Amino acid sequence: MSSLAQIIKNNKPRATLALADGRTFRGWSFGAEGETVGEVVFNTCMTGYQEVLTDPSYHRQIVVMTCVQIGNTGVNRKDEESEKPRVAGFAVRESSTVTSSWRSEEGMEPWLARHGIIGIEGIDTRALTRHIRDHGAQAGAIATGDVDEEALHAKARSWGSMEGKDLVGEVTPAESYLWEEGPYHPLDGFKKVPGTLHVVALDYGIKRNILRELVGVGCRVTVVPAAASPETVLDLAPDGVFLSNGPGDPEPVTYAVGAVKELLGQVPIFGICLGHQILGLALGGKTYKLKFGHHGGNHPVKDLLTGKVEITSQNHGFVVDPGSLAAAGQRIEVTHINLNDQTVEGIRHLEIPAFSVQYHPEAAPGPHDAHYLFHRFVEMMEEHRV
């Protein structure tokens, strides 16, 4: 029996997704029941839904998966990118009622329900994805049971836009902590790897596998809150500073931009995703919002330094404006471009040790083409080590 047939048989509650522009999608509830609002975006990953659900960069977003069936490998603690699901809501064509994986510890649906994440299934996710692609990412609201659709549309409209929202403070830790886990091995699990280089990671909503990859290339990692002062960072005597991924619009995160401005030239810096955008702003550039963002594991990026093309994992709605970098009056080079839309995917400063990429080289859930960037960071730190 298919999952959709099982929904009807089990008489699941109805659910409604209402977009700010008036489009409505009707399906069935899965996960928690209730109501939620957020920006609706689509993700093109074929696998790795648990990494998507627990990525803090998806905070305040309702994620639509383009893959038809989601949930058939269940969930497990090892694949979590943070301590809990971070999405505002989840929309799929079909939520699998069958879990088939030796690593599974729990089904996806009860896991979502336990964490209070509201989902909708049984909708035409192809139509919803095309609508977002044509009309842009926008606010939406999911409600379960009998709903007033006009009121639901009004709630979506009142949520506004992701532009202007500083969400970093809602996901960053309250205190600093040490991270010692290295990359996962199927036989040995997460191993602690001794590190010689000390990296201070500014946590704007960091994914755990980024930290694991830093440990895996020989780093000791101290994670500090997003609002940590430059003095606090430098007092830790880092060999390098890492700027993490995170949610929301980078421009309102002025405290992070100001801190990075002061750190530039004092210590090697490597940024990913939101960290890349914050570095761009600290260097005098500007950012702007994409129509529907880049969310998925199949985005082609060209490394302009080597000429190679890598398939990358991405999750962002904002990008650095290359024209603003050129006008900033500094020696900044664009190192990577997106081959789908030619947007900036990487930059480096030609006079001070600082570089960043817009995509996710930690490859969680994949692919692994860009792992070399962690080694590039290590080489930069070793070159400038006192």
Q: Which residues are catalytic?
A: 273, 360, 362
**Distance from chain centroid for Cα 195:** 26
What CA–CA distance (Å, rounded) separates 370 from 366?
Answer: 10
Closest-CA residue to 237 (of 227, 222, 218): 222
Asked whether the bond before 367 is cis by omega within 30 degrees of 0, the reply is: yes
Closest-CA residue to 252 (of 314, 334, 315, 170): 170
What CA–CA distance (Å, rounded) separates 260 from 123?
Answer: 44
Going by DSSP bridges, is the β-strand pair 35-43/332-338 parallel, antiparallel, or unpaired? unpaired
What CA–CA distance (Å, rounded) separates 340 from 179?
Answer: 36
Q: Using CB atoms within 10 A of its CB, is residue 143 exposed (0-12), middle (13-18) or buried (19+)?
A: buried
Beta-carbon contacts of 154 under 8 Å, excluding residues fewer than 6 positions away, are: none
Closest-CA residue to 219 (of 253, 247, 242, 249): 242
Q: Which residues pair with 301 in a beta bridge?
A: 310, 338
